[in-house]
Structure 1
């Protein structure tokens, strides 16, 4: 919870203000999650502060909400290209992705439970950045990400807006965005590292190295035979366990 509050502070997500007359603040709550690896072992514990977006009113504190995500078909197609052309395949994770989105609407939120500011208990937070749970959060993050990567020469795919490509002479790189998971497939290691540097300079990133577990799908490779396999073993085991089978 302290880590999450530190992220809020680092990203300058809100300011404390007195609630203006006629406005009603939206609430917020803590959500706890256990992240597991492909073998089901506990990787880390996460606490996330989530706005109660269901109390937002259209036209007042949100307008557009649509945000694209890459399709599983695009993911499989990129995997086929990786196997066929023996591309480098790495993955990165955006920490607190939604906090990167800028807000254009005026949104007031109650202070988080357990973390009320001393001497400012009666004040509310005016949000400057989008926060998880807001109806427009996903859209604002996508718009920010798109703006940054296209500025650095990436071209968005017309049929799947979350797939990008950059060509540099005979070298090329594909970038697949699925909310806050980023998959990088490149014909050149230097281009791959340049892209990682660009992403890390603009967002708080976690470099996960060679891709092995993406979107709950296990990836295994045998580069000597140009083979790449996808397995959903972890998901299948979870379903079997749920039904005691």
Structure 2
């Protein structure tokens, strides 16, 4: 919407976001090291604000931000709890929050600046200007649009897999290699699941990798040594050369009905797309 309508985009970062949350529960903690009371070493501290590491911290921070935005005039989206919108005559402002990272978009730059000032008065906000690197996606302004790239995210995946110096493949999946179901279970299934899950996020800008990633994710419940080899040979090593300027809106999921032919499956997919677009 920002690209097609020419709207203003701003990226924000909240400093120590969780410390802004107010705890609804009673939580005690030991006296922190270096701040012990020598006269009462057995005393504990009663927390007034949420701290990083508390399971209540994310919820407490989001509730504080949510309540503040509603009092400012924003409305909460009924379909996405992370999305808020502000309407004033013909002016529109959208605010999307992910923990402490925020994207604001508006067709009225003056109104956006006013709302940003109110937000900065309540929280310690850092205005990063035009989005540059947001949730693992690098945003570059080009003539007539935005270029989204996950190159840095891809390089991090290769580093975690110990494949920084791997050789690239011309295709994201090998056509000849197959995993044997009788192989020994992989000794570190958590590592397999983490890498397979990370590769799912990479398909945001590279939907052409979705087939290979889908095959990898089918083995996450009990990955074997052959599946680990499948991941390293067929997918991860191939992502090094598959980072281009493509920007595609895409979703992949199994159909809810059983098709009796390929034609019926395609017709069902077309009907779902038409319904979603409508």
Matching residue of 1:196: 116
* Closer/same/farther in 2, CA of residues 118 and 202 from structure 1, 3 Å limit: farther
Matching residue of 1:142: 62
What SS does structure 2 have at the residue aligned with 1:218? Answer: strand
Matching residue of 1:129: 49
Normalised to the residue count of structure 2, the TM-score between the two structures is: 0.55
Instruction: Give how far 1:240 is off.
Output: 2.1
Matching residue of 1:212: 132
Correspondence list, 1:1-245, <5 A: 81-116=1-36, 121-222=41-142, 224-225=143-144, 227-242=145-160, 243=162, 244=164, 245=166
CA RMSD of the aligned region, Å? Answer: 1.6
> Which range moves more in the overlay, 173-182 or 213-222?
213-222
Normalised to the residue count of structure 1, the TM-score between the two structures is: 0.63
What SS does structure 2 have at the residue aligned with 1:132? Answer: coil
Runs of 5+ in structure 1 lacking a partner?
1-80
Distance 1:238 1:196 in 2: 33
Instruction: Give how far 1:210 is off.
Output: 1.4
Distance 1:125 1:96 in 2: 20
Give the greater-gyration-radius structure (CA): 2
Runs of 5+ in structure 2 lacking a partner?
167-278
What SS does structure 2 have at the residue aligned with 1:209? Answer: coil
Instruction: Give how far 1:116 is off.
Output: 3.3
* Closer/same/farther in 2, CA of residues 109 and 190 from structure 1, 3 Å limit: same
Instruction: Give how far 1:209 is off.
Output: 1.4
Higher strand share: 1
* Closer/same/farther in 2, CA of residues 177 and 122 from structure 1, 3 Å limit: same
What SS does structure 2 have at the residue aligned with 1:112? Answer: coil
> Which range moves more in the overlay, 200-209 or 108-117?
108-117
Q: How many equivalent residue pairs?
A: 163
Q: Which runs of 4+ in 1 moved over 6 A?
A: none
Q: Which has the higher contact order (CA 8 A, sep 6+)?
A: 1
Matching residue of 2:249: none
Deviations 1:128-180, CA, capped at 9 Å, x for gaps: 11111112111111111110001111111100011011112211111000011
